[in-house]
Amino acid sequence: MIKRSKSHLSGELPSPELLRSVLREHARNCARLQRLQSYYEGRHDILRRERRKGLPNSRVPHNYPAYISDMAAGYLIGTPIRYEYDDSAALAPLLQVLRESDTQSLDAEIACQQSVFGRGVELIYADENARPRCVALDPRDAFVVYSDDETCQPLFGVYLRPEYDMRGSRIGLRVTVYTAALVARYRCAQAASIRDPLDVSNHYFGAVPLIEYWNNARETGDFERVLPLIDAYDILQSDRVNDKQQFADALLVLTGVMGIASPEENDARTPGERLRQDKTLALPDSSAKVEWLTKEAQESDADVLRLALAHDIHKFSMVPDLTDEHFAGNLSGVAMRYKLLGLEQLTAIKERYFREGLRQRIRLISRYLSLLGSQEVSANDVRFIFTRSLPVNEVEQAQIVSQLHGIVPDEQLLPQLSFLRDMQPVGGEE
């Protein structure tokens, strides 16, 4: 989180000195963000490992980061969010905007950013028809600056866009700054040379329209804490492949053999070539011996270490391995939830921060729609319904509802049946 004192924001816009300061701080964090993105894409540090010339150098990355982030994001947002409000008529224009912005896909993208980078970024803007819209921005190119007091209120947001010429060469940088009332656009050769804005306009959203969705209080990614374990796993598996290659290239030791029989007439092959191709060897006497010089591979020890590393990766990331023998198809709902307890705790934290971002999204869009004549919706009264993406035992649910029939009102029982709950509007759909 980038913090600055409110006193530094003396005018309606941050000064060039303040902008250069926050841009430098963001640039220092970009190396970390780029490394996280590289690991998510499968470009691990093992791919840069070098060994002495002549030795096998297998470099095998294992994409645990993608598994962890995709699983965590899918568990949080795999089922689209439902919005509930006491006044459905007042909520209808807002749901229309969410449909037009395809927020179901947008939420999935932000949840993935939240898991990979430790934060997701969303921009609320007005399109060419003056209609509010939402879009996800790359956290490497956008950030929010907060006040350094106990409130941590957003002071302004910044969005960076490199400029390229027709040949793809970078020629400059476009910087857009969003305050609570204004949008200012800058153009410069680099961040250190930013000066006065090219133009300034109003955006009418009533607050900073750049929203950050934090993953946790420290803004760390879901697999960031287990990167050393992933590196160790990559090295172990790569070295196992190297050992196999070295075993295939083992040396043939000849004891008591001064040479190999002379080649036949018109045979231009070397003795080594004839040995490899004919697979025969004539020894001169009974005291001679031939054996392979190989390295004994301790496969059982290596596999124990591999399993230990894999177990620690899942344990400390709190994302279980759903392919192991502990996840059977006959588990009850309670047993499944117990095995997913760590992931559930992780997701509960992510959900709280996601709700804060959604509430700010509703607040900004509702304020803008109120200027267009719609009734303003109280963001604090909108209920966001998250549904976990879990296998459902519908028979077990039906048995529970049947046992409670006549004891609990039907309007409270029916929502417990997932196949009926899924028929309700989701993500703003009607």
What is the per-residue pLDDT across 126-185, written as a single tens digit (0 to 9) for each? 988 889 999 999 999 999 999 888 888 999 999 999 888 888 888 889 999 999 999 999
The Cα 143–Cα 158 span in angstroms is: 6
Edge-to-edge strands of the sheet including 210-214? 132-137, 119-126, 210-214
Residues 93 and 159 grouped into a single domain: yes
CA distance 125 to 406: 51
User: Which residues form the domain of 404?
Assistant: 397-430
Quick one: 100 and 81 in the same domain? yes
Number of folded domains in the chain? 2
Most confident option among 104-113, 250-259, 316-325: 104-113
Q: Are residues 370 and 419 in the same domain?
A: no
CB 32 within 8 A of CB 219: no
Same domain assignment for residues 416 and 377 = no
Please give the Cα distance from 68 to 90 (Å, whole number): 39
In a domain, 248, yes or no: no
Residue 305: inside a domain: no
Please tell me whether residues 369 and 402 are part of one structural domain.
no
81 found inside a domain: yes
> Residue 358 has what pLDDT?
94
Same domain flag for 193 and 211? yes
Digit-coded pLDDT (tens) for 196-207: 889 999 999 999
| Residue 48 counted as domain residue | yes
Task: Classify residue 270: in a domain, yes or no.
Answer: no
- Average pLDDT (342-357) is 93
**C-alpha span between 430 and 428 (Å, rounded):** 7
Task: Please indicate, yes or no, whether residues 86 and 67 belong to a single structural domain of this protein.
Answer: yes
The pLDDT value recorded for residue 330 is 54
Q: What is the per-residue pLDDT for 425?
A: 44
Judge whether residue 419 has pLDDT over 80.
no
- pTM (2 decimals)? 0.80
- Using a pLDDT cut of 70, give the percent of the chain over it: 80
Question: Are residues 164 and 194 both part of a single domain?
Answer: yes
Q: Between 92 and 253, where is the model more confident?
A: 92
Residue 51 falls inside a structural domain: yes
pLDDT over 90 at 365, yes or no: yes
Same domain as 92, residue 134: yes
Question: Do both 380 and 410 map to the same domain?
Answer: no
351 and 411 in a single domain? The answer is: no
Q: Is residue 405 part of a domain?
A: yes
Question: Is 175 part of any domain?
Answer: yes
Confidence of residue 79 (pLDDT cuts 50, 70, 90): confident
369 shares its domain with 411: no
Question: What is the largest distance, in Å, between two alpha-carbon atoms of the chain?
Answer: 105
Inform me whether the pLDDT recorded for 335 exceeds 90. no
How far apart (Å, rounded) are the C-alpha atoms in residues 361 and 205?
10
Summarize the confidence of residues 95-121 as an average pLDDT.
93
The more confidently predicted of residues 301 and 42 is 42
- Reply yes or no on whether the pLDDT at 317 is more than 50: yes
Instruction: Find, among 295, 190, 315, 279, the residue nearest to 246 by Cα.
Output: 295
- Kindly report the three-state secondary structure assignment for every residue of the chain: CEEECHHHCCCCCCCHHHHHHHHHHHHHHHHHHHHHHHHHCCCCHHHHCCCCCCCCCCCCCCCHHHHHHHHHHHHHHCEEEEEECCCHHHHHHHHHHHHHCCHHHHHHHHHHHHHHHCEEEEEEEECCCCCEEEEEECCCCEEEEEECCCCCCEEEEEEEEEEECCCCCEEEEEEEEECCCEEEEEEECCHHHCCCCCEEEECCCCCCCEEEEECCCCCCCCCHHHHHHHHHHHHHHHHHHHHHHHHHCCEEEEECCCCCCCCCCCCCCCHHHHHHHHCCCCCCCCCCEEEEECCCCCHHHHHHHHHHHHHHHHHHHCCCCCCCCCCCCCCCHHHHHHHCHHHHHHHHHHHHHHHHHHHHHHHHHHHHHHHCCCCCCCHHHCEEEEECCCCCCHHHHHHHHHHHECCECHHHHHHHCHHHHCCCCCCCCC
